[in-house]
Chain A
Amino acid sequence: MSPALCAMCRASRALIIRPKNHQKLCKACFIAIFEAEIHHTITSTNLFSPGDRIAIGASGGKDSTVLASVLKTLNERYNYGLDLVLLSIDEGIKGYRDDSLETVKRNAVQYGMPLKIVGYDELYGWTMDQVVETIGKKGNCTYCGVFRRQALDRGAKMLGIKHVVTGHNADDVAETILMNLLRGDLPRLARSTNIITGDEMSEVKRSKPLKYAYEKEIVLYAHHKKLDYFSTECIYSPEAFRGSARSLIKNLERVRPSAILDVVRSGEDMARLVPEEVTGISQCKSQKISLSNADGGDEGAGGCGSSNGRSSGGEMAEMEKKLQQDEEAAGREVEITSVSSHANGQRHDRIGGKSHLRSRAQGDTGRKLLRQTLGTCKRCGYMSSQEICKACVLLDGLNKNRPKMEIEIDVEDEESSTLRRRMEGIALAAG
């Protein structure tokens, strides 16, 4: 087969075939267009302002390494005026994070960026090794996910930085959209499609500049630019990547490569159709009233305010958990069907169920309490939409050595954990 020529420069041999449009490109033109498209994403969404200090959530893996490299390149090329910092989380898993942290340290030198490593041990007093020792491997991803989400924000706060960028790519976003769609989770669907989460109210914003970049192109960019990255699987969930939604995305891509971006675009279009009230209600229904006052009311992005920003960054962790809960999803799907036919009744049911729970827990003080709690966690002072943040609840369980303790992030379960938190609050107050 005679080598094809690059469709752009028509001079060099094509090495890449772009998944989104089958364009055949040479190495130099591919690198140029990949960077140009991310520049376009950044400028068209007004992601940054000159003088911004940005923390890059860096794991040493392909996505965050490419993100750091591209942001450095673009920042210099287009004079974004950004102050870029690498922020890494050390979960405390021996034989897993050590090597990738070494990669991040090298990246810090290669890109001339300061590096901050935040450890679970210093933040929470527990390494993941110790967590697993206590609770076993099952469910440890929940702990790790909740801890990591906060850890990035806390690390950013330590550095006095208000904006964390993560390496989530188009495949990640498409996977999240499909999962949320299949589960009928419209609020989260709306949220997961946003390039930026958190607003002026939240202390730390999150964004995904690689949202429209194919995982395949990210890997090819890293390969052709000879970037130094590290691939590994967490020793506590080695099979996590074999999730069914991921496989579905990859199979779709094989049949029709444009499918990934099509899913992303469709997800965005569908998210625009999600009524604000639905977003508000199911996203954080127990705080409905406080929120409608506090939230500016932008589509989906506002939602739970600070809790939004945090949870969206941990989509993948949540997704892992969701994959394990496919059965539950079936039940939820039925529920959504009924929403469409009698939305009000459904809403009423939910609120009814909730107040029932609440009255059992602590009578009428619930709503009042909630308004107070939109600020910070009583325990650690970290921003939280709950009285006590998820990390602290999990830590309570760990510290009391209650191995079976579980925190669910899902809609219905949010209720029970809220309830649990309130009950703990009472216990504290009483004691």
Chain B
Amino acid sequence: MAAEEIIPVVVEFTGGLEMLFADQRKHTLAVPAKDEEGKPVTVGWLVNYLCEKVMKDSRKEMFVLDGHVRPGILVLINDADWELEGEASYALQPKDNILFVSTLHGG
């Protein structure tokens, strides 16, 4: 069944966000192709997944605020601003690179 299909994606955190993810910048993940309702998984779904499954840090609000990626965190899908790709509704494709860059952290 399609629900068991797996999509390989690379997720990267920079600009200080890696601190929330065990100081690990690059995460190679295999995510299900379909969500619980059988719809193709989106970046929005991925954010939720990262928050619940990957992030060990308890400060979830430093990544997600009010159900959205925290303002001040840029999301690049294959190097393109996610605003060009439909933001959270973008459906993940195999081998996508999703980069989260914080602009909030100092030097």
**Chain A residues at the B interface, C-beta cutoff of 8 Å:** 1, 3-4, 13-17, 24, 27, 59-65, 100, 167, 171, 215-216, 218-220, 223-224, 229-234, 240-241, 246-247, 250-251, 253-254
Per-position contact with A for B58-99: 1 when CB-CB < 8 Å, else 0? 000000000000111010100111011110001000000001
Q: Do the beta carbons of B83 and A231 come within 8 Å of each other?
A: no
In the assembled complex, the CB of A5 is this many whole angstroms from the nearest CB of chain B, namely: 11
Q: Do the beta carbons of A14 and B80 come within 8 Å of each other?
A: yes
In the assembled complex, the CB of B6 is this many whole angstroms from the nearest CB of chain A, namely: 23
Q: Does B24 contact A (CB under 8 A)?
A: no
Question: Of residues B16, B90, B107, which shows the largest number of chain A Cβ atoms within 10 Å of its Cβ?
Answer: B107
Q: Does B14 contact A (CB under 8 A)?
A: yes
- Residues from chain B with a CB closer than 8 A to the CB of A4 are 84
Tell me the bound Cα distance from A229 to B15 in angstroms: 9
Q: Do the beta carbons of B103 and A234 come within 8 Å of each other?
A: no
Q: Do the beta carbons of A219 and B101 come within 8 Å of each other?
A: yes
Q: In the complex where A13-B80, A15-B79, A231-B16 touch, is A254 in contact with B71 (Cβ < 8 A)?
A: yes
Tell me the bound Cα distance from A4 to B76 in angstroms: 15
Q: In the complex where A231-B15, A233-B16 touch, is A17 in contact with B105 (Cβ < 8 A)?
A: no
Q: Do the beta carbons of B15 and A247 come within 8 Å of each other?
A: no
A-B residue pairs in contact (CB < 8 Å), sample of 19 = A3-B84, A4-B84, A16-B81, A27-B79, A59-B107, A64-B107, A171-B103, A215-B72, A215-B103, A219-B101, A219-B103, A223-B99, A229-B107, A230-B107, A231-B14, A232-B107, A233-B105, A250-B71, A254-B71
Q: Does B102 contact A (CB under 8 A)?
A: yes
Closest 4 CB pairs of A and B: A61-B107, A59-B107, A231-B16, A250-B71
Q: Which residue of chain A is the closest to B72 with respect to CB atoms?
A: A250
In the assembled complex, the CB of B66 is this many whole angstroms from the nearest CB of chain A, namely: 10
- Residues from chain B with a CB closer than 8 A to the CB of A24 are 84
Tell me the bound Cα distance from A6 to B67 in angstroms: 31
Tell me the bound Cα distance from A274 to B106 in angstroms: 32
Q: Which residue of chain B is the closest to A58 with respect to CB atoms?
A: B107
Question: Of residues B71, B83, B85, B90, which shows the largest number of chain A Cβ atoms within 10 Å of its Cβ?
Answer: B71
Tell me the bound Cα distance from A13 to B76 in angstroms: 14
Q: Do the beta carbons of B81 and A17 come within 8 Å of each other?
A: yes
Q: Does B22 contact A (CB under 8 A)?
A: no
In the assembled complex, the CB of B12 is this many whole angstroms from the nearest CB of chain A, namely: 11
- Residues from chain B with a CB closer than 8 A to the CB of A223 are 14, 76, 99, 101
Q: Does B3 contact A (CB under 8 A)?
A: no
Q: Which residue of chain B is the closest to A251 with respect to CB atoms?
A: B71
In the assembled complex, the CB of A216 is this many whole angstroms from the nearest CB of chain B, namely: 6
- Residues from chain B with a CB closer than 8 A to the CB of A64 are 107
**Chain B residues at the A interface, C-beta cutoff of 8 Å:** 14-16, 19, 70-72, 74, 76, 79-81, 83-86, 90, 99, 101-107
Q: Which residue of chain A is the closest to B70 with respect to CB atoms?
A: A250
Q: Do the beta carbons of A253 and B71 come within 8 Å of each other?
A: yes
- Residues from chain B with a CB closer than 8 A to the CB of A3 are 80, 84
- Residues from chain A with a CB closer than 8 A to the CB of B104 are 241, 246, 250
Tell me the bound Cα distance from A333 to B101 in angstroms: 37
Q: Do the beta carbons of B71 and A241 come within 8 Å of each other?
A: no
In-complex Cβ contact of B71 among A13, A16, A229, A247 (8 A):
A247
Tell me the bound Cα distance from A224 to B79 in angstroms: 8
Q: In the complex where A216-B74, A253-B71, A254-B71 touch, is A14 in contact with B106 (Cβ < 8 A)?
A: no
- Residues from chain A with a CB closer than 8 A to the CB of B102 are 231
Q: Do the beta carbons of A232 and B81 come within 8 Å of each other?
A: no
Q: In the complex where A250-B71, A253-B71 touch, is A232 in contact with B105 (Cβ < 8 A)?
A: yes
Q: Do the beta carbons of B103 and A240 come within 8 Å of each other?
A: no
Q: Which residue of chain A is the closest to B101 with respect to CB atoms?
A: A219
In the assembled complex, the CB of B88 is this many whole angstroms from the nearest CB of chain A, namely: 13
Q: Which residue of chain A is the closest to B19 with respect to CB atoms?
A: A233
Q: Do the beta carbons of A220 and B72 come within 8 Å of each other?
A: no
In-complex Cβ contact of A231 among B71, B80, B105 (8 A):
B105
Q: Do the beta carbons of A220 and B74 come within 8 Å of each other?
A: yes
Tell me the bound Cα distance from A240 to B107 in angstroms: 12
Q: In the complex where A219-B15, A231-B15, A231-B16 touch, is A241 in contact with B84 (Cβ < 8 A)?
A: no
Tell me the bound Cα distance from A193 to B15 in angstroms: 27
Q: Do the beta carbons of A216 and B71 come within 8 Å of each other?
A: no
Tell me the bound Cα distance from A162 to B78 in angstroms: 44
